Amino acid sequence: MNTKRETNKNILFIATGGTVASSEGGNGLTPALTGDLILAKVPEVDHLCNLSVLQLMNIDSTNMAPENWLKIADTILEEYDGYDGFVILHGTDTMAYTAAALSYLIQNSPKPIVLTGSQKPISNPFTDAKLNIYQSVLYALDKYSCNVSIVFNNQVIAGTRVKKQRTRSYNAFESMNFTPLAHFIENRILRRVKDPEALEGELLSYDKMCDRVAVLKLSPGLSPNIFKAFEQDVDALILETFGIGGIPEYDGHSFETAIRDFIAKGKTIILTTQVPEEGLDLSRYEVGNKYTALEGVLEAGNMTTEAIVAKIMWILGQTDKPREIKKMFYKIINYDRGE
């Protein structure tokens, strides 16, 4: 084996489980392999840098929760001074949520924090894991890389713009309403977005999140009474509206009244659209326009639902004051809104 290093940089490889680490357990795939065993199957990365492995957890990403996001962030911060970059091995199902959460928990990072995984286990003869891991390490080593991103299938996506669009294909993820940060052509990184935000401010870190957040997707005929079901356990409700921002009004059932009552109880409503691309504009139609000036209602623009969930969890972990919630929500972090 070639032990000559192309760079003296140190990269921390954090393994959390997912499909890439899975093997057949009799009842379906389940995470079993450790980070060391996975890297042993990708010897091509061995000469790139000094690579250390930390097995933080080994779970199906379906079971990834805010407490796990905090654990990953805490680990990165504890090891921050000793490494030049971080690669997190993660399951694909909730990778977009974790990437968004880390974007808010660790802001303005001059050191890259890269998430990757695979659609097929590392032991599968047709796995996509080897290329994804190799490219993730290359990206983490590049001097222009920073902040939180996902590297997957020759593409680099900002951590707040990721959505899983396909359950089986290798091109599982899309960059929603924002240009991918970069593409790979073999070993070359072709950057599309310049002037990284990390260079514009100092490193910021946070250690609290509030998980009293839920997502409600409108469907035809849904009763506004559904809001009462969220009052006890939810502090912020993300409402996925129709189209560009349509909220219905059925005879005798007022969504406007239900939303106003929900806000009056000290809750926050974030309006978004259930359409993945192009975003929300409440001013376009009368059915949405009435909510544009309603205090306690936030407009998500073209953010992904995954980013909205992570952002409001982060915000509520820091404050419960409506004015501060609004200010923090509309601040752009790691390219999370607008273009």
- The predicted pLDDT at position 3 comes to 44
Structure-token match 């091109």, residue found: 171
- The predicted pLDDT at position 169 comes to 85
Residues 6+ apart with CB under 8 A from 222: none
* CA-based nearest residue to 285, from 249, 258, 330: 249
- Report the distance separating Cα 139 and Cα 133, nearest Å: 10
User: Does the structure show a pLDDT above 70 at 339?
Assistant: no
Are 184 and 155 a contacting pair, CB within 8 Å? yes
User: Could you say which of 19, 92, 160, 304 is catalytic?
Assistant: 92
pLDDT tens for each residue of 134-174:
999 999 999 999 999 999 999 999 999 999 989 988 888 89
DSSP 8-state secondary structure symbol assigned to residue 246: B
- Report the distance separating Cα 297 and Cα 264, nearest Å: 11
E strand or H helix that includes residue 323 = helix 322-330
* CA-based nearest residue to 209, from 17, 15, 74: 74
- Report the distance separating Cα 107 and Cα 19, nearest Å: 28
Are 253 and 223 a contacting pair, CB within 8 Å? yes
Instruction: Give the distance, in angstroms, between the CA of residue 123 and the centroid of all CA atoms in the same chain.
Output: 26
Paired residues of 271 in beta bridges: 239, 299
The tokens for 99 are: 């990437």
- The predicted pLDDT at position 260 comes to 92
pLDDT tens for each residue of 14-57:
999 887 776 666 666 666 678 888 888 899 998 899 999 999 99
The tokens for 94 are: 């909730």
The β-bridge relationship of strands 236-241 and 213-217 is parallel
The tokens for 174 are: 């899309």
- Report the distance separating Cα 197 and Cα 104, nearest Å: 13
| DSSP code per residue over 120-161 | S-TTSTT-SHHHHHHHHHHHHHSTT--SEEEEETTEEEETTS
pTM of structure: 0.93
- The predicted pLDDT at position 2 comes to 38
Tell me what percent of the residues of the chain surpass a pLDDT of 70. 91
CB atoms within 10 A of CB 19: 24
Residue 304: active-site member: no
89-125 residues labelled b (16+ CB within 10 A) or e (exposed): bbbbbbbbbbbbbbbbbbbbbebbbbbbbbbbbbbbe
E strand or H helix that includes residue 11 = strand 10-17
| Domains of the chain in sequence order | 10-205 (3.40.50.1170), 213-330 (3.40.50.40)
User: Does the structure show a pLDDT above 50 at 198?
Assistant: no
Helices (H), 93-251: 95-105, 129-141
Are 237 and 268 a contacting pair, CB within 8 Å? yes
pLDDT tens for each residue of 54-111:
999 999 889 999 999 999 999 999 999 999 999 999 999 999 999 999 999 999 999 9
The tokens for 40 are: 């042993």
Residues 6+ apart with CB under 8 A from 64: 16, 90, 91, 94, 97, 98
